[in-house]
């Protein structure tokens, strides 16, 4: 079996981000602290080959549909489609053989790298032949720009995201409970006990999910976080680690962001809560909730999702 390729993007500040074509994913992100010391701020394996057995979606491009689709089914234009089930009776992150399991074609250029993937009609139950791309570029302001695009030859649904787990301390044996988070979100989508949205859009006011002002994650942790927040603007999130001085800022064209605190990490090799995800996305289970923004993509249209992640230090 061919070893997956590794591609590294770097800039004048010493930031270096390593990617692999297996899952079009982020493998390593070296970023300086306030004293200029470099450390890896994302969870990942030493070998790209190890991602073949990854069940935590470490750093990958998630597709065709990020997050959950209830009962692994949806109706589009009066036709019911049945998807592969990989979380009990539900469909998670593209199914049994999602985009994280695929080897993408890629072209590297001066500005970064573009990964491409063809997903045939019927792939994991989805309709339409989908042509997808994930472009990564790193600038000298320490901004990683991720641009997803897709086109289809039949009506289908699309929702891509990146599933990097961040730990700004650079020490992956430590939890992220000492990180401070601000989310530009006054609402969220409540879920049932199987983490499927109820269809309600509720206010964060008065709940432990109110991160409109910067909060220490450990102060309102409870059982952990795995929630979809409805964004109030493009400036989605700010994550800070006071000890190292590292700050992560996220902008997106998407309507929502999933804050996931690594609740299901199982110690192989990363323990629970040693990394957190901030996944820019459409709402989970959108096809089954007509009051949610549409995720339908039709022939002649282009899906486009831009996310900018900047890591700095103060």
Contact 131, 116 (CB under 8 A): yes
Listed in sequence order, the residues at least 6 apart from 233 whose beta carbon sits closer than 8 Å to its beta carbon are 184
3-state secondary structure at position 128: coil
| Three-state DSSP state, 101 | helix
List all residues 6 or more positions away from 213 whose beta carbon is below 8 Å from its beta carbon.
182
C-alpha 214: how far from chain center: 21
By annotation, the residues acting in catalysis are 163, 279
Cα–Cα–Cα angle for 305, 277, 136, rounded to 5 degrees: 40
Cis-peptide into 269, omega within 30 deg:
yes
């Amino acid at each position: 079996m061919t070893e997956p390729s590794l591609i590294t993007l770097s800039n004048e500040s010493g930031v270096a981000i390593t990617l692999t074509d297996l899952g079009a994913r982020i493998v390593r992100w070296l970023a300086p602290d306030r004293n200029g010391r470099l450390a890896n701020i994302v969870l990942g394996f030493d070998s790209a080959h190890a991602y073949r057995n990854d069940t935590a979606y470490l750093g990958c491009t998630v597709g065709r549909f990020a997050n959950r689709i209830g009962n692994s089914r949806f109706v589009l234009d009066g036709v019911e489609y049945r998807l592969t089930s990989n979380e009990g009776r539900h469909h998670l992150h593209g199914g049994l053989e999602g985009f994280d399991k695929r080897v993408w074609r890629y072209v590297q250029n001066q500005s970064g790298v573009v990964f491409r993937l063809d997903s045939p009609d019927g792939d994991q139950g989805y309709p339409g032949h989908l042509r997808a791309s994930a472009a990564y570029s790193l600038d000298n302001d320490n901004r990683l720009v991720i641009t997803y695009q897709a086109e289809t030859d039949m009506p289908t649904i699309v929702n891509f995201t990146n599933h990097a787990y961040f730990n700004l301390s650079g020490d992956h044996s430590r939890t992220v409970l000492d990180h401070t988070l601000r989310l530009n979100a006054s609402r969220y989508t409540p879920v049932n006990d199987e983490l499927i949205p109820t269809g309600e859009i509720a206010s964060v006011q008065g709940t432990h999910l109110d991160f409109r002002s910067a909060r220490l994650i450990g102060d309102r942790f409870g059982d952990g976080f795995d929630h979809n927040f409805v964004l109030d603007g493009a400036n989605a999130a700010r994550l800070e680690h006071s000890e190292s001085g590292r700050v992560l800022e996220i902008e997106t064209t998407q309507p929502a962001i999933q804050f996931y605190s690594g609740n299901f990490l199982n110690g192989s090799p990363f323990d629970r809560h040693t990394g957190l995800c901030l996944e820019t996305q459409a709402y989970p289970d959108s096809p089954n909730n007509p009051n949610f923004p549409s995720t339908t993509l039709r022939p002649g249209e282009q899906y486009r999702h831009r996310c900018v992640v900047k890591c700095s230090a103060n």
